[in-house]
């Protein structure tokens, strides 16, 4: 009795299935069945076992369970950022969709770095997730290969302008930009300015820009001034770039890469005493809450980030195995006229 594996006094006593089974005087399989609500069990047995479970404070070990069943209920999620509110909104949709299901989300943030994204995807795949939700179509070759070969369901969220690995859920940013252009031309604007942020990390902003350019070009117009912030796409940058834009050329409307920057534009105009939309019209993208609550509602394009997350989950829950055909789900967008353009 000198070297027996004694149960230590109180802490770190890891209670296993076996302990529960011994205490309840049944076999491990019985306990296992009861914990999983699977198969038939006599009510008396169930109660006896559950009593032990409670008494011992047993928490099933899913690591062991997953290894044995070769199945996890994990979902990998990769977003580029959390500082841009649109991604938390997508996560909310994911969360809502997951509510009540047996799945758990493992969330990672790539900081818009593709190499880091690759590392994250590798790390997630190592947990044998049932599916992986990732942002956009821009990935390293290795990431794309891993995702494809993993055989699990892959959702590429936010955009639908390219062919997905498996499923794409989002909207056409090119068409959104185009729609914005048409809308503004119809409203009589002629001298366009563009305020944006770094395109290398945000290809979707670029696509919107391209769509906008196309619409203008069809109307015989073009963008006469550009003010591009280096990194940030936030309100402060919007203020600064708006000031810059106005120093570059006479414009009657400024189109922003997103609502945050557009709100910055509005704040700049307030400070500088510029009448919106008479002296300068302002048009954003996203349809954030703040834009709606502004004294003068921001003209913008509304996308539905929550829906993107929710639809992504729905798609996966409906068909947990990857089929042969690719799917694209368009969550659409909508022009919100507002009062700033």
Residue from 7, 47, 51, 151 touching a second copy (CB under 8 A): that is 151
Q: Does 6 bind DNA (CB under 7 A)?
A: no
Residue from 62, 231, 249, 337 touching a second copy (CB under 8 A): that is 62
Under the phi-then-psi rule, with left for phi > 0, alpha for psi from -120 to 50, and beta for the rest, what region is 182? Answer: alpha
Q: Quick one: 48 or 206, whose CB is closer to DNA?
A: 48
Give the Å distances, CA to CA, from 252 to 179, 279, 328: 18, 7, 37
SS3 134: strand
Q: Given the structure tokens 């890469």, which residue do they identify?
A: 257
Q: Are 123 and 91 in contact (CB under 8 A)?
A: no
**Residue ranges of the alpha helices (H) in the chain?**
17-24, 28-35, 43-56, 62-69, 86-98, 114-125, 141-150, 173-186, 203-218, 235-248, 259-272, 289-293, 305-318
Residue from 7, 36, 54, 326 touching DNA (CB under 7 A): that is 36
Nearest approach in angstroms of CB 86 to a second copy is 11
Q: Given the structure tokens 């990672």, which residue do they identify?
A: 108
Q: Does 36 bind a second copy (CB under 8 A)?
A: no
Q: Quick one: 249 or 270, whose CB is closer to a second copy?
A: 270
Nearest approach in angstroms of CB 172 to a second copy is 26
Q: Does 299 bind a second copy (CB under 8 A)?
A: no
Window 225-254: contact mask with a second copy (x via CB under 8 A): ---------xxx--x---------------
SS3 155: strand
Number of residues that bind a second copy (CB under 8 A): 54
Q: Does 42 bind DNA (CB under 7 A)?
A: yes
Spatial distance between the Cα atoms of 19 and 203, rounded to a whole number of angstroms: 55
Stretch that binds a second copy, among 83-91, 167-175, 215-223, 275-283 (CB under 8 A): 83-91
Stretch that binds a second copy, among 16-24, 105-113, 171-179, 327-335 (CB under 8 A): 105-113
Q: Does 65 bind DNA (CB under 7 A)?
A: yes
Query: Token pair of 291, please?
Result: 């834009």
Spatial distance between the Cα atoms of 52 and 32, rounded to a whole number of angstroms: 13
Q: Which of residues 5-34 bind a second copy (CB under 8 A)?
A: 11-12
Q: Does 82 bind a second copy (CB under 8 A)?
A: yes
What is the β-pairing status of strands 167-171 and 192-197?
A: unpaired
Which residues are near DNA by CB under 7 A?
Answer: 14, 16-18, 25-30, 32-33, 35-36, 38-42, 44-45, 60-61, 64-65, 67-71
């Amino acid at each position: 009795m000198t070297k027996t594996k004694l149960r230590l006094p109180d802490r770190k006593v890891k209670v296993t299935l076996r302990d529960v089974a011994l205490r309840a005087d049944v076999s491990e399989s019985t306990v296992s069945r009861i914990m999983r609500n699977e198969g038939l069990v006599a009510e008396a047995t169930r109660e006896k076992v559950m009593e032990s479970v409670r008494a011992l404070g047993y928490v099933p070990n899913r690591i062991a369970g997953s290894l044995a069943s070769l199945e996890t209920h994990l979902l990998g999620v990769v977003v580029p950022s959390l500082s841009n509110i649109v991604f938390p909104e997508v996560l909310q949709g994911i969360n809502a969709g997951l509510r009540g299901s047996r799945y758990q989300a493992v969330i990672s943030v790539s900081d818009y770095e593709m190499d880091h994204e690759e590392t994250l995807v590798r790390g997630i795949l190592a947990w044998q997730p049932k599916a992986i939700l990732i942002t956009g179509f821009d990935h390293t070759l290795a990431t794309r290969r891993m995702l494809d070969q993993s055989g699990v369901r892959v959702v590429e969220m936010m955009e639908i302008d390219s062919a997905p690995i498996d499923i794409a859920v989002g909207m056409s940013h090119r068409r959104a930009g185009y729609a914005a252009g048409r809308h503004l031309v119809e409203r009589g604007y002629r001298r366009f300015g563009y305020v944006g942020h770094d395109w290398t990390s945000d290809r979707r902003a670029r696509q919107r820009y391209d769509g906008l350019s196309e619409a203008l070009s069809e109307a015989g117009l073009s963008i006469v001034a550009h003010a591009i912030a280096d990194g940030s796409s936030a309100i402060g940058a919007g203020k600064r770039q708006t000031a810059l834009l106005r120093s570059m050329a006479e414009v009657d409307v400024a189109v922003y890469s997103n609502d945050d920057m557009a709100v910055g534009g509005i704040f700049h105009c307030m400070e500088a005493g510029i009448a919106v939309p008479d002296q300068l019209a302002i048009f954003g993208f996203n349809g954030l809450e703040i834009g709606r609550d502004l004294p003068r509602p921001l003209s913008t394009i509304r996308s539905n980030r929550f829906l993107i997350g929710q639809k992504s989950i729905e798609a996966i829950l409906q068909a947990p195995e990857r089929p042969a055909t690719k799917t694209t789900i368009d969550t659409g967008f909508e022009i919100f006229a507002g009062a700033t353009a």
